[in-house]
Structure 1
């Protein structure tokens, strides 16, 4: 067999060494070929060319989304390949963006730490397998390290982190209510005014969240709308600043932002309880929305090509 240009020739002692070298290089070529194929696959996934996704599904330039920067470390190339594929299969979630900064075989290095620290954003390092880390720099508080030996445990951790960064869902409860009996000018109110209130339900607390509701339209077709929401500037009783006013008592109230009260307004105090999101349910809804978007896009393309 004639050697091709550029081929390096080795002279070995005997056939035994030749067989060993042959099998060694065969494994190397298979690994490198698999690695190159995998890197091409990852690049295609990033560009949205796999799973019929939009080009911006995996790396979306969403300015109003909270990014989660992730670095993936694995003890072998096969483990890295398995983790990365599952991560790129995750659907896009509302208000959050998964940004994979890198995936490598080996432990955490100072380069990984610096790459995540520079963004000053929430992030983490997913470590898969038995690895000896080599970083000398300490990770900041906003970067979390999660080590696992089961690939799905690591992916579940990433899901939990992404869902935790989604916009908060609140359940609002009205815990106190007061009626505006009269309005008057006050220097502390700026361009706004002060309201004389009668607490009709609960206890008004000066430091809590306030909401002002107003009846609009004619008497037979009235509608109550929210005209202000925010913090109070002052809560007074008999010209003294107080921390709270109980039901049945009267008080004076000044809001921020030069707000103007009207007689008859209803002042409510609202407590907002955070509703915990279910991770599996959020992922399921995101996958379903992705399926709907894909079907709609295919239908639009079919109409355009008809």
Structure 2
């Protein structure tokens, strides 16, 4: 017989209660053994008497299927490459292998629900059966991870994945897959940036130091001033310049930080001159990891 594009030979026929049968009549619900490959729901099975004709038909169908799959894969890779180059969408490409079509469809639907305007799961290939070398090659070419559900990984695929650095993850609970992929997607989200003011200082006078340039003789009025952090220079409530504090001195010595109430010399990258009464505001920006709602 032939089913879809794979040939097979009937090894046994059983009814719904496990009794072996010699023949199956129209409308009988039976279990067949003898498939070369796992069939999909909806595949048609046809009995062919001549084995020569059977092999010829199977080979032609398999050739056609490979050509179609190659076209599909090329399109998927091109589409994914375009999205990444645009930079408008961050994509996590995934290959799904499962034990049955129902598992694959349920897994795909649950993963796609995680998509939002910033990040996207792209299922570039999904099929029934164990993880094979061809899956690993596709994953390597598209920087994808392979998600297997209730399937095994062939020994050659394991070796290929180890050499290529392809991540293969096998699960038996759908929610475990969704939770882990969700964490991966959250890592692709742009983090929220939160600014906090560390300290403020009032400029009292300007000094010129050889090999450094002008620095602001200042008094810290709030918090703490630290070297190598961001700062803004305000004059009459107007922002003059923004840059890092490249020089921080306490008397003639370099200092890492100066606390409230103490005097110091402050040099900001890009600042040419300081005036009495200028306000220096030191701040830092922290990145906070976002989560998918």
TM-score norm. by structure 1 comes to 0.59
Q: What residue number does 2:116 align with?
A: 92
Q: What residue number does 1:283 align with?
A: none
Offset from partner CA, 1:192-225 (integer Å, 9 cap, x none) = x432221112222224x22214245xxxxxx454
Q: What residue number does 2:204 align with?
A: 181
- State whether residues 94 and 147 of structure 2, in contact with CA within 8 Å, keep that contact through their aligned partners in structure 1: yes
Unaligned runs of 5+ in 2: 1-6, 12-20, 45-64
Q: What residue number does 2:126 align with?
A: 103
Q: Secondary structure at the match of 2:162?
A: coil
Q: What residue number does 1:262 align with?
A: 274
- Equivalent residues, number: 237
Aligned pairs (5 A) from 1:140-219 = 146-186=169-209, 188-189=211-212, 193-207=214-228, 209-215=229-235
Report the aligned-residue RMSD.
Answer: 4.4
CA 1:241–1:116 in 2, change beyond 3 Å: closer, same or farther?
farther
Q: Which has the larger radius of gyration?
A: 2
Q: Secondary structure at the match of 1:19?
A: coil
State the Cα distance separating 1:169 from its structure 2 match: 1.0
Q: What residue number does 1:297 align with?
A: none
Unaligned runs of 5+ in 1: 1-7, 48-55, 217-222, 281-306
- How many angstroms apart in 2 are the aligned matches of 1:268 and 1:278? 31
State the Cα distance separating 1:186 from its structure 2 match: 4.6
Bigger relative contact order (CA 8 A; separation at least 6): 1
Task: List structure 1 segments (4+ residues) > 6 angstroms apart after TM superposition.
Answer: none
- State whether residues 93 and 121 of structure 2, in contact with CA within 8 Å, keep that contact through their aligned partners in structure 1: yes
Q: What residue number does 1:67 align with?
A: 91
Write 1 or 2 for the structure with the bigger share of strand. 2
- State whether residues 80 and 104 of structure 1, in contact with CA within 8 Å, keep that contact through their aligned partners in structure 2: yes
Q: What residue number does 2:14 align with?
A: none
Q: Larger deviation: 169-178 or 180-189? A: 180-189
TM-score norm. by structure 2 comes to 0.61
Q: What residue number does 1:19 align with?
A: 24
- How many angstroms apart in 2 are the aligned matches of 1:103 and 1:188? 64
Instruction: Indicate yes or no: 2:245 matched with 1:232.
Output: yes
